[in-house]
Amino acid sequence: MAKGVLYIMSTPMDGIIKIGTAETKQYKERMRHLSTNGYANVNALQPYFATEVDNYKELENLLKDLFVFIRPGKKELYSMEPDLAKQLLLAFSGKVIFPKDGASNATQIKQIAKIRKQGELFNMYSRGIKKGDILTFVGNPDIKVKVVNERDVEYNGATYKLSPLALKLYTEMGKANKSGAYQGASCFKFNGTILTKLPLKN
């Protein structure tokens, strides 16, 4: 069985990721090339997750078939959250090569599911935050984002959910955790208080 790498790369566009394959020996160069040159007119791609699997080409074709309705055109770009794609790739029982955190695939799947559920349940409006309010990033108080609805914020002209934005910011700072998963609401403050510590409003 041919071994190779299935990888996910994040993009600056909210909810758009690249999923692709590479021979194991070419994986690092592929990441360098895409990070430097972009893909299909999309720049600033960043490695998000990679796993070495058997029959990697067959699995890539399976993903293309499964996600045909969320794949714009014939490019390897998909309209889905990176954590959801990561959960699926972890289920293939390959060897995780990025990021390396030592946790088993099953453990990582559970961790991501828990964090995604927390993110889906968190509603900023229920904590007294309103559209137009400004939040501060915990990792750097100079980074400000604007609330656009109960779950999304605006940063540098683009709309993000809190968890993917936290990963993006920590990655740019070179401080991303090994799992790449964040509970976004714990990474931002409103009026000096971390969002998860704000009381619920009636």
Q: Is the peptide bond between 99 and the residue preceding it cis, with omega within 30 degrees of 0?
A: yes
Residue 184: Cβ-neighbour burial (10 angstroms; 0-12, 13-18, 19+): buried
The pLDDT score that the predictor gives to residue 18 is: 93
Whether 115 shows a pLDDT value over 60: the answer reads no
pTM: 0.58
The pLDDT score that the predictor gives to residue 180 is: 62
The pLDDT score that the predictor gives to residue 168 is: 85
Sheet containing 193-194: give its strands across.
158-161, 152-155, 140-147, 134-137, 188-190, 193-194
The pLDDT score that the predictor gives to residue 87 is: 83
User: Does residue 187 or residue 102 have the better pLDDT?
Assistant: 187
Q: Among 60, 54, 51, which Cα is nearest to 100's?
A: 51
The pLDDT score that the predictor gives to residue 154 is: 93
Paired with 96 in beta bridges are 51
Whether 103 shows a pLDDT value over 70: the answer reads no
What lies within 8 Å, CB to CB, of 169 at 6+ separation is 137, 139, 140, 143, 187
Structure tokens at 66: 């499964």
Whether 201 shows a pLDDT value over 90: the answer reads no
The whole-angstrom separation of Cα 7 and Cα 49 is 6
Contact 173, 166 (CB under 8 A): no
**Tokens 């750097």 sit at which residue?**
140
Give phi and psi for 176, each to the nearest 5.
-65, 145
Q: Which tens digits make up the pLDDT trace of 134-189?
A: 999 998 999 999 999 988 899 999 888 888 888 888 888 888 766 566 778 889 99
The pLDDT score that the predictor gives to residue 121 is: 62
The pLDDT score that the predictor gives to residue 178 is: 61
Q: Which tens digits make up the pLDDT trace of 35-84?
A: 999 998 888 898 989 999 998 999 988 888 888 778 777 788 988 878 88
